[in-house]
């Protein structure tokens, strides 16, 4: 797909290789993001933490990921991808090695570093795609980029879960991931082309101005809110609590629960590029987001309240992932609703708002679940009480989408030649 897009838009092979390498980095960091969900009992014993304490530690990823989205975005615009993407990957590798120590404090620091460095993957890949590939392919490219990430998320469950169950030690896994991250960082140094620089010596002032212009654009705020509300069913419910939900609420064996839970990020592998491709073909963004939101809310309702065997195995999780893949469309909308020179900053802002949801609400949902179960064994009704607000969140995202200004190619071509999108 990348080759066809490059050919159509005159994009050089070096850029394609750089985008693919950065997408591989995204695949790698998503493995680390999702892997703790399939080794919670082992980590809880090794680190000496309760289930709630471990969930809070795992959630530290988003406390690094969310705020450094802004840093990564402006760094792309000011310095170019070559100077920052390999550094981000090296930071993730260090975080994996710290996590492998088995010391709870070092593991917490490592998890935070995984988020700090990991954010440079998505923002780097999106920056390369949106600044070098044809605008008519923007949603498709960002969707394919996210496909790499969710392939990693799926691998973090489909492959890591059975490996842990088969006897691979959790510490061995994290050590191996640290080494793999170092190798990928070297690869990125070798293939990343020199990017454009702003040429502005007042780096801080220019970065602050870019963040202000993008962050005060109401369309940017809407994009972040919509994406975040689409995303938290995956980042909080599935990747943290999904396996335990299936085990405790439906009495599924561990191996079956891992595979069922992993079907959600596997659905993203299909849904992200599909939503982007459909949106580019239609020349519209909003109808795809709204339709996906309705499907996502329906799937969540069935997962929480429907009979567990009403659908074939993996079908419901797969449909959930496909529907929530539209969370990446606001990443295209925010770029189209802001100035071209703020492409990296725009991605950073939407990523910041998006994952602030996961960072702030992860402990909240965990607390609601513990409150519902009163500290005792967790059952289906406890999960229903704790996670039903996800349904209201998706419904709110659909309503907010109606307030978005359509930025697809069809809407832009229909506008008078003198009219250009305003950043405010």
DSSP code per residue over 125-161 = HHHHHHHHS-GGGHHHHHHHHHHHHHHHHHHHHHTHH
Helix (H, G, I), strand (E, B) or coil at 419: coil
The arithmetic mean of pLDDT across residues 34-54, rounded, is 83
Mean pLDDT of the chain: 84
What does the alpha-carbon distance between residue 401 and residue 405 come to, in Å, rounded to a whole number?
9
As to burial, measured by CB atoms within 10 angstroms (0-12 exposed, 13-18 middle, 19+ buried), residue 377 is exposed
80 and 203 in contact (C-beta within 8 Å)? no
The reported pLDDT for the residue numbered 254 is: 80
Average pLDDT over residues 366-370: 87
**What are the C-alpha distances in Å from 384 to residues 70, 155, 205, 381?**
34, 27, 47, 5
Neighbours of 389 (CB within 10 A): 14
Residue 6 has pLDDT above 50, yes or no: no
Tell me which range, 15-19, 48-52, 287-291, 334-338, is most confidently predicted by mean pLDDT: 287-291
Query: Which of 97-101, 120-124, 377-381 holds the top average pLDDT?
Result: 97-101
- Mean pLDDT in residue range 215-222: 92
pLDDT of residue 25: 95
Q: Of residues 4 and 192, which shows the higher confidence score?
A: 192
* Predicted pLDDT of residue 127: 84
The pLDDT value recorded for residue 140 is 79
State yes or no: pLDDT of 80 exceeds 90: no
Q: Which residues of 256-294 are buried (b: 16+ CB within 10 A; e: fewer)?
A: ebbbbbbbbbbbbbbbbbbbbbbbbeeebbbebbbebbe
Which pair of structure tokens corresponds to residue 78? 């000011």
Exposed/middle/buried for residue 169 (C-beta within 10 Å: 0-12, 13-18, 19+): middle
- Hey, which of 91-105, 248-262, 334-348 has the most confident mean pLDDT? 91-105
Average pLDDT for residues 395-399, to the nearest whole number?
A: 96
Percent above pLDDT 70 for the chain: 91
Looking at residue 27, what is its pLDDT?
92
Asked if residue 262 has pLDDT above 60, the reply is yes
CB 125 within 8 A of CB 28: no
pLDDT by residue (tens digit) across 271-313? 888 988 899 889 899 999 999 999 999 999 999 998 877 888 7
The conformational region for residue 29 under phi > 0 = left, psi -120 to 50 = alpha, else beta, is alpha
pLDDT band at 411 (very low <50, low <70, confident <90, very high): confident
Where does the pLDDT of residue 422 fall: very low under 50, low under 70, confident under 90, or very high at 90 and above? very low
Report the pLDDT averaged over residues 32-54.
Answer: 83
Whether the pLDDT of residue 123 is over 70: the answer is yes
d(CA 150, CA 322): 11
Please compute the mean of the pLDDT values over residues 125-144 and round it to a whole number: 78
Q: What is the mean pLDDT of residues 204-213?
A: 80
Provide the pLDDT confidence category of residue 4 given band limits of 50, 70 and 90.
very low
Lowest mean pLDDT among 160-164, 275-279, 347-351, 392-396: 160-164
- Predicted pLDDT at 415: 57
Q: How far apart are CA 210 and CA 74, in angstroms?
A: 7
Query: What domains are there in the chain, each with its CATH number?
Result: 2-404 (1.20.1250.20)
DSSP class per residue in 327-359: GGHHHHHHHHTS-GGGHHHHHHHHHHHHHHHHH
- Specify the 3-state DSSP secondary structure of 310: coil
Select the highest-mean-pLDDT range: 147-161, 188-202, 255-269.
Answer: 255-269
Q: What is the pLDDT of residue 66?
A: 83
The predicted model gives 359-386 an average pLDDT of 87
Taking alpha carbons only, the member of 106, 118, 112 closest to residue 184 is 118
pLDDT, residue 197, reads 52
CB 111 within 8 A of CB 61: yes
8 Å CB contact between 80 and 197: yes
* CA distances, 210 to each of 75, 198, 221, 335, 344 (Å): 11, 12, 15, 13, 10
Please report the pLDDT score of residue 167 as a whole number: 83
Residue 179: Cβ within 10 Å count: 12
Q: What is the pLDDT of residue 92?
A: 96
Most confident of 63-72, 185-194, 389-398: 389-398
Distance CA 327, CA 329 (A): 6
Write the burial class of residue 35 (CB in 10 Å: 0-12 exposed, 13-18 middle, 19+ buried). buried
């Amino acid at each position: 797909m990348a080759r066809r897009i490059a050919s159509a838009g005159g994009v050089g092979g070096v850029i394609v290789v750089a985008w693919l390498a950065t997408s591989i980095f995204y695949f790698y960091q998503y493995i680390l993001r999702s892997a703790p969900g399939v080794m919670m009992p082992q980590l809880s014993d090794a680190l000496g933490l309760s289930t709630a304490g471990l969930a809070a530690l795992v959630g530290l990823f988003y406390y690094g990921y969310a705020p450094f989205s802004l840093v990564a975005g402006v760094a792309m615009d000011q310095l170019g991808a070559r100077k920052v993407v390999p550094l981000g990957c090296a930071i993730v590798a260090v975080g994996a090695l710290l996590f492998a120590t088995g010391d709870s404090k070092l593991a917490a620091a490592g998890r935070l570093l995984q988020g700090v460095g990991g954010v440079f993957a998505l923002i780097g890949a999106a920056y390369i795609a949106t600044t070098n590939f044809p605008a008519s392919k923007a949603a498709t490219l960002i969707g394919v980029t996210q496909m790499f990430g969710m392939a990693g998320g799926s691998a973090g469950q489909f492959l890591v879960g059975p490996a842990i169950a088969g006897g691979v030690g959790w510490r061995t896994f994290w050590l191996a991931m640290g080494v793999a991250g170092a190798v990928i960082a070297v690869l990125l140094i070798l293939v990343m082309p020199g990017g454009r620089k702003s040429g502005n010596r007042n780096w801080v002032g220019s970065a602050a101005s870019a963040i202000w212009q993008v962050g005060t654009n109401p369309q940017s705020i809407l994009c972040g809110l919509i994406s975040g509300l689409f995303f938290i069913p995956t980042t909080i419910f599935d990747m943290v609590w999904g396996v335990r939900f299936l085990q405790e609420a439906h009495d599924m064996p561990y191996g079956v629960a891992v595979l069922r839970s992993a079907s959600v990020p596997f659905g993203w592998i299909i849904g992200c590029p599909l939503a982007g491709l459909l949106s580019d073909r239609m020349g519209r963004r909003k109808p795809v987001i709204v339709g996906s939101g309705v499907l996502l809310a329906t799937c969540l309702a069935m997962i929480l309240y429907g009979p567990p065997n009403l659908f074939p195995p993996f079908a419901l999780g797969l449909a959930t992932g496909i529907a929530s893949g539209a969370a990446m469309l606001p990443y295209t909308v925010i770029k189209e609703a802001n100035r071209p020179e703020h492409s990296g900053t725009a991605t950073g802002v939407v990523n910041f708002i998006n994952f602030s949801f996961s960072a702030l609400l992860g402990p909240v949902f965990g607390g609601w679940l513990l409150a519902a179960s009163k500290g005792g064994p967790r059952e289906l009704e406890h999960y229903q009480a704790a996670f039903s607000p996800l349904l209201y969140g998706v419904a709110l995202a659909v309503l907010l989408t109606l307030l978005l200004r359509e930025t697809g190619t069809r809407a832009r071509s229909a506008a008078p030649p003198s009219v250009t999108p305003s950043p405010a």
